[in-house]
Amino acid sequence: MNFISTRGDTPALGFSDAVATGLAPDGGLFLPETLPQFSSDELKALAGLDYPALCTAFFRRFATDIDEATFAAIVAKSYTSFTHPEIAPLVPLADNLQVLELFHGPTLAFKDFALQLLGNLYEHQCAARGQTINVLGATSGDTGAAAIHGLLGKPGTAIFILYPDGRVAPLQERQMTCTGADNVYTMAIEGSFDDAQTALKDIFADQTFRLHHRLSAVNSINLARVLAQCVYYLSAWLRLPTAQQENVEFVVPTGNFGNVLAGWMLQNMGVPIRGFKVATNQNDILYRLFTTGEYKVDQVAPSLAPSMDIQVASNFERFLYFALGRDPSRVREVMTTFKATGEYRFESFDRSTFSASRCSDAEIPGIIKSVYERFGYVADPHTACAFAAPDSDRHSVVLATAHPAKFPDTLRAAIGVDPRHPSLEALKSRPIVKHPVAASADAIRAFIEARAV
């Protein structure tokens, strides 16, 4: 299978090259040339597979340039560090409500599902091609830690992570800055995640620099991340009773749109999911989009759910490509307008598949308390946003995106519980190593130049 850019000015690439490239040279995002379709018989055949086998079977539609045995070994290695035997367990809370727990990986966040796999794909590519690779990412919290732990100590790799200084949870910062690994560089910038992401895209647009340093993207702009996230939706859907499969809505805390885009892409591959609810915090650009049709940047307001403190959702461009009839010229037009004005209004916008909810900081502690009192379930602040407005006429599966132990202050204030996890406790005695860097492409480029492998 080949992969094409949303903006249409990059030659189609195979899977491995699209993964290694990350952001398309024309500034667009890679997508499959066509979305494969799963028949009902094919879905039934997948139902009995464990998680690694299901992931391998799913990716056989996409990673056609890696032989099946090699890819199966890469996948198997990627999920050995998950602590729950089901990898992504479904936890029932009520007759019409379940939680899909996505925090049993090494950094206790849903990003591990994709980034453990991506790290092992990078390692395979370095060995197979005899080349080094430098990986660059920006994070609002969980992506950085998961990306770092996917590449810790891997030969031939260096990883550079940008994050907004003082705007991630303290334990999230420690997961990034206390690894002690020689191939990890965490860059603390002044400003917001959006500032970091803008600088990152500017660097990837510098083709001479990107090619010279074999630079690859680890954010969800990387195609492999979105595809890997499709698998946990498929795993959950296959485990639902038939009646629930036909009426399920996945409720997804999201800021950068990659998490919910993965489910939507799976739906468009023939898996009959009824719909998706986009759950935002007070940085509600996606809520405003799906309720008004207007995509308009506002100021980022630091929140109790910091991983969603985003105003420019980079994965929205992939959705836009499909919404505009797969017309790259229209995508270029819209993205040019959006970059110049910070807004775009859709004249006609199909919202039949998506609904949305918004949750302010003032509401999050109360929701955490309500969920705890009603179900005895401890939800982190991001997952709490997904409980803001459930639909009683649908079977809801809430995606629990992070372990509550990553946000102890909020949990103590809300329910008097002090959640702990041994991997986080071990970090508290380790020194923080971070590098203050200006949020400019030039400063970041110079930092990478001095340390790239």
pLDDT digits (tens, 9 = 90+) for 71-115: 999 999 999 999 999 999 999 999 999 999 999 999 999 999 999
Domain assignment of residue 144, yes or no: no
Q: Which residue has the tokens 């898996």?
A: 271
Q: What confidence score (pLDDT) does residue 444 get?
A: 96
**Residue range 244-292, pLDDT digits in tens:** 998 999 999 998 899 999 999 999 999 999 999 999 999 999 999 999 9
What is the C-alpha separation between 78 and 151, in angstroms, rounded? Answer: 11
436, burial (CB in 10 Å: exposed 0-12, middle 13-18, buried 19+): exposed
Pick from 397, 138, 94: nearest CA to 253: 397
Q: What is the mean pLDDT of residues 215-242?
A: 94
Q: Is the pLDDT of residue 39 over 80?
A: yes
Supply the residues annotated as catalytic. 111
Q: Which residue has the tokens 């949020």?
A: 439
CATH code of the domain containing 388: 3.40.50.1100
329, burial (CB in 10 Å: exposed 0-12, middle 13-18, buried 19+): exposed
Domain assignment of residue 235, yes or no: yes
What is the C-alpha separation between 233 and 79, in angstroms, rounded? Answer: 16
Helical (H) or strand (E) element with 8? none
How would DSSP label each residue in 359-426? --TTTHHHHHHHHHHHH-----HHHHHHTSS--TTSEEEEEE-B-GGG-HHHHHHHHS-----HHHHG
Which of the pair, 118 or 351, is modelled with greater confidence? 118
Q: Which residues contact 42 (CB under 8 A, 6 or more apart)?
A: none
Q: Is the pLDDT of residue 400 over 90?
A: yes
Q: What confidence score (pLDDT) does residue 404 get?
A: 97
**The dihedral of CA 365, 368, 371, 374: what is its sign?**
negative
Domain assignment of residue 199, yes or no: no
- In this structure, the strands spanning 184-189 and 275-280 are unpaired
Contact between 136 and 203 (Cβ < 8 Å): yes
Q: Is the pLDDT of residue 53 over 80?
A: yes
What is the C-alpha separation between 362 and 46, in angstroms, rounded? Answer: 43
Q: What is the mean pLDDT of residues 400-418?
A: 96
Phi-psi category of 351—alpha, beta or left, where left has phi over 0 and alpha has psi -120 to 50? Answer: alpha
What is the C-alpha separation between 126 and 132, in angstroms, rounded? Answer: 6
What is the C-alpha separation between 198 and 451, in angstroms, rounded? Answer: 21
Q: What confidence score (pLDDT) does residue 226 get?
A: 95
Percent of the chain with pLDDT over 90: 86
Among 40-54, 321-335, 381-395, 419-433, the minimum mean pLDDT is found in 381-395
Q: What confidence score (pLDDT) does residue 390 get?
A: 63
Q: What confidence score (pLDDT) does residue 104 get?
A: 98
* Alpha-carbon distances, residue 240 vs 12, 50, 235, 246, 355 (angstroms): 37, 15, 9, 9, 22
Q: Is the pLDDT of residue 346 over 90?
A: no
Domain assignment of residue 16, yes or no: no
172, burial (CB in 10 Å: exposed 0-12, middle 13-18, buried 19+): buried
Written as one letter, the residue type at 383 is T
Percent of the chain with pLDDT over 70: 99
Domain assignment of residue 357, yes or no: yes
Q: What is the mean pLDDT of residues 363-374?
A: 97
Q: Is the pLDDT of residue 183 over 70?
A: yes
What is the C-alpha separation between 135 and 249, in angstroms, rounded? Answer: 35
How would DSSP label each residue in 387-405? TSS--TTSEEEEEE-B-GG
Domain assignment of residue 26, yes or no: no
Q: Is the pLDDT of residue 350 over 80?
A: no
* Alpha-carbon distances, residue 380 vs 83, 305, 331, 384 (angstroms): 18, 8, 36, 6
Domain assignment of residue 186, yes or no: no
DSSP one-letter code for 109: B
Q: What is the mean pLDDT of residues 412-425?
A: 95
DSSP one-letter code for 431: P
Q: What confidence score (pLDDT) does residue 391 get?
A: 66
**Number of domain units in the chain:** 1
Q: What confidence score (pLDDT) does residue 452 get?
A: 96
Q: In the predicted model, what is the mean pLDDT of the chain?
A: 94
In this structure, what token pair is assigned to residue 226? 């979105």
Domain assignment of residue 389, yes or no: yes
| Domain residue limits at 101 | 84-110+224-421
Q: What confidence score (pLDDT) does residue 436 get?
A: 97
- In this structure, the strands spanning 30-32 and 294-296 are unpaired
DSSP one-letter code for 294: E
**Residue range 127-169, pLDDT digits in tens:** 999 999 999 999 887 889 999 999 999 999 999 999 999 999 8
Q: What confidence score (pLDDT) does residue 221 get?
A: 85
